[in-house]
Amino acid sequence: MSILIDDTTRVIVQGITGRIGSVQTHWMLQYGTKVVGGVTPGKGGTTVEGVPVFDSVEEAVRETGANASVFFVPAAFVLDAFLETIEAGIKLIVVVPEHIPVRDVVKMRSFALERGVFALGPTTPGILVPGKGKMGIMPASLFAPGRVGIISRSGTLSYEFAGILSESKVGQSTVVGMGADPVVLRNLADILELFQEDEGTDAVIIVGEVGGEQEEKAAGFISRKMTKPVAAYIAGRYSPQGKRMGHAGAIVRGSSGTVQGKHEALRAAGVEVLESPIYVAQWAKKHKLK
């Protein structure tokens, strides 16, 4: 079992004719993902990697029965494409691009929540279910099937954790990138809830970083609702105050958003705080995870 992606997931790729969209469609297909179509307005009727391209999401849904979408759309056009996708009835959207204006994300989030759409990102590597399929850009070679869930604010660090676990023969049920912007389309606690309910997941790892209060707020949910073991790593203890560390959301402002504050909140909720990524292997061993 897994969360978000299963055998019924039929994916369209928005921005499929772009440089990144077409390369990533190739990798997603090679991993066994059911990519049933692509959308680029004005490029309908062509194909990319053997996948039919449509002019609109509505048409793509009608012709292919798609129920999920992954975005490789230039940042300036994401809001428009996102609203179109929700109107067309898609219920799962992964927004990979970075540099989307925060006030656009505010509108996207509000509309998605109102329509009951589960959306991830922006600035997310996407979702990967080992051996089954993926929506996004995660490099397949680092993942192995198993029963540990990973939620990460950072793309590359989700690969790092999956890689360390896979090397120690511990697999993953689903790996979810929640996005690295100051506002994300779904909060950490919402994703934790899916893992708590998933029969295929025995434990969850949170890979956080400085900035914002996602980890602090999730700690409240964990102490109230989570029965599965949770471990967390927070990157960025040497981040200077007031400097944006690559991600739009990774910034320590005054005394808020620090590694220390996040550690305290998570520890108080019974989460095992990992001082460094490599300790995830020992944690998995201690809980006999596989």
Partner 1 sequence: MRLHEYEALDIFEQNRIPVPRRGVAETVDDAIRIAGEIGYPVVLKAQVLVGGRGLAGGIKSVSNPDELEYAAEKLFSSEIKGLTVRKILVCEKVDIAKELYMGTTIDGYSGQPVILVSTEGGVLIEETAKSSPEKIAAIHIDPSFGYYPYQARTLLRRLGLEQQLITTWSDIIGQLYNISVRYEALIAEINPLVVMANGGLIAVDAVLEIDDSALSRIRLPLPDRIERIENPIERRGRQIGVTYVDLDGDIGLISSGAGLGMASMDIIGQKMRPANFLETGGGITADLLYKCMELVMMKPDLKAIFINVYGGINPIHEGAKGVVRYIQEHNVKIPIVAKALGNRQEETWEIFRSGGVHVVTEAATEKAIEKLYEIISGQRG
- CB-nearer residue toward partner 1: 56 or 141: 141
Q: Considering only CA atoms, give the Rg of the chain.
A: 18
- State in angstroms the smallest separation of the CB of 152 from partner 1: 7
- State in angstroms the smallest separation of the CB of 199 from partner 1: 28
- CB-nearer residue toward partner 1: 96 or 226: 96
Helix (H) or strand (E) holding 17: none
**168 token code pair:** 């120690």
Q: Catalytic residue among 26, 99, 247, 263, which?
A: 247
Separation CA 120–CA 276 (nearest Å): 26
Cβ-Cβ contacts under 8 Å for 123 (sequence gap 6 or more): 96, 97, 98, 100, 155, 179, 180, 181, 247, 248
Q: Is residue 236 classed exposed, middle or buried when 0-12, 13-18 and 19+ CB atoms within 10 A define those classes?
A: buried
- CB-nearer residue toward partner 1: 4 or 128: 128
- State in angstroms the smallest separation of the CB of 81 from partner 1: 16
- State in angstroms the smallest separation of the CB of 174 from partner 1: 17
Q: Which long-range contacts (CB under 8 A, 24 or more apart) does 73-76 make?
A: 73/14, 73/15, 73/18, 73/97, 74/15, 74/18, 75/99, 75/100, 75/101, 75/122
> What is the DSSP code string of 173-192?
EEEEE---SSS-SS-HHHHH
Angle at 123 (CA atoms; ends 60, 115), nearest 5 degrees: 50
Which residues face 118 on adjacent strands?
A: 92
- Whole-number Cα distances in Å, 128 to 11, 79, 84, 269: 13, 24, 25, 27
**12 token code pair:** 């369209």
26 is catalytic: no
Classify 39 as helix, strand or coil. Answer: strand
Helix axes 214-225, 259-268, angle to 10 degrees: 10
- CB-nearer residue toward partner 1: 54 or 71: 71
- State in angstroms the smallest separation of the CB of 261 from partner 1: 11
- State in angstroms the smallest separation of the CB of 279 from partner 1: 9
Catalytic residues: 247
